[in-house]
Amino acid sequence: MSRLSRRNLLRSGALVGAGLALPSNVSAADEKTRSGEKASPIRLGLASYTFRNFSRAQMVDSMKQLNVFELNAKDTKDHLPMNAEDESRAVADYNSAGIKLHAAGAIYFPKDDDDDIRAKFEYCKRAGIRVIVAGDPVPGTLPRIEKFVKEYDIRIAIHNHGPEDKMFASPLDVLKAVRGMDARVGCCIDVGHTVRAGTDVVQAIREAGPRLFNVHMKDLTSFGSKESQVAVGEGKMPVREIFEALIAINYRGFVDLEYEIQPDNPMPGVISSFAYMRGVLAGMRHTPN
């Protein structure tokens, strides 16, 4: 399989990331037809945890600079508060900025309790969110959670957290736990935690198939070290192969950048990460979002 050089990937990504303007008399559709490109089946988004040290307003401003308008929101800072009134104001701010909320999380389900679980489904229902990224639900709570999945028609994507996670280190652990459950109970594959668990991330995507509802993207220079995270494209993560596997399974969710390092100054790494991912997609003859 041929691979683009990193320089070409970053050059392509930087052009796309900068929103290269077309002449006013040339439509985007015409340009795509001429270049042989097509709209990307891979949709890029942002995990709000990336900007956990920044306010909602600051994050919205950063997303506009990035030309990214799809958000996986978390109840951190004032990004998407659990309180209904504050949540409503947050949703209004996102709508005003043209930002769409496609997922929320990680949301934790420590209690096998109807009221606790219902509150979290109501939280997502109010925001119009269709995917809950669930952090480490105790396996015994899954039948009760499944009941709410059916009632609310909101999918649950259980997030794997690597070798430190005694329940869901790998997406394969999630798949075993949800086998036989409603089709709307599935997984969120965090690619960094997956490789740290010793799991082939590309194979995990193929095995998850229709039960894959969300992807958290990051990169590592060492698959054995959580502390080796770098901007996407600067490590060993097989980004193109991941995208190819997602396309092969007809994945309909989002690939959300979760940049966990440099929390006080994430933008340089975030810009580089989106440029690289957009460059990979451009190299695959896809026009990124």
Nearest to residue 132, comparing CAs of 160, 111, 112, 104?
Answer: 104
Is residue 125 a contact partner of residue 117, using CB atoms and an 8 Å limit?
no
- The pLDDT, as a whole number, for residue 88 is 98
In this structure, the dihedral spanned by the alpha carbons of residues 3, 270, 91 and 253, taken in order and rounded to 10 degrees, is 20
What is residue 75's three-state secondary structure? Answer: coil
What pTM was computed for the model? Answer: 0.87
* Inter-helix orientation angle 142-152/114-127, to 10°: 40
Kindly tell me the burial class for residue 33, based on how many C-beta atoms sit within 10 Å of its own C-beta (0-12, 13-18, 19 or more).
exposed
DSSP string of 179-213, one letter each residue: TTS-TTEEEEEEHHHHHHTT--HHHHHHHHGGGEE
CATH class of 6-15+42-287: alpha beta
- CA angle at 135 for the pair 131 and 137, rounded to the nearest 5°: 100
The residues, any chain, with a CB within 8 Å of residue 90's CB and separated by 6 or more, are 56, 73, 78, 79, 80, 81, 127
Helix (H, G, I), strand (E, B) or coil at 176: helix
Looking at residue 39, its pLDDT comes to 82
Alpha helices in the chain (DSSP H): 6-17, 28-35, 56-66, 84-97, 114-127, 142-152, 171-178, 191-196, 201-208, 239-248, 267-283
Cα gap 241→194, rounded to integer Å: 15
* Distance in angstroms (rounded) separating the CA atoms of residues 18 and 276: 12
Question: Domain residues of the chain, as ranges?
Answer: 6-15+42-287
**Mean pLDDT per segment of 10 residues, for the chain of length 289 residues?**
40 40 34 58 97 98 98 97 98 98 96 96 98 92 97 98 94 97 98 98 98 98 96 98 98 97 98 98 90
95-109 b/e with 16+ CB inside 10 Å = b? eebebebbbbbbbeb
For residue 288, the model assigns a pLDDT of: 81
The pLDDT assigned to 176 comes to 97
Q: Which amino acid is at 182?
A: D
- Residue 16's contacts (CB-CB under 8 Å, 6 or more residues apart) are 275, 278, 279, 281, 282, 287, 288
pLDDT of residue 63: 98
| C-beta atoms surrounding 63 within 10 Å | 22
Distance CA(81)–CA(278), nearest Å, equals 31
For 150, the token pair is: 């059916």
> What pLDDT was estimated at residue 28?
39
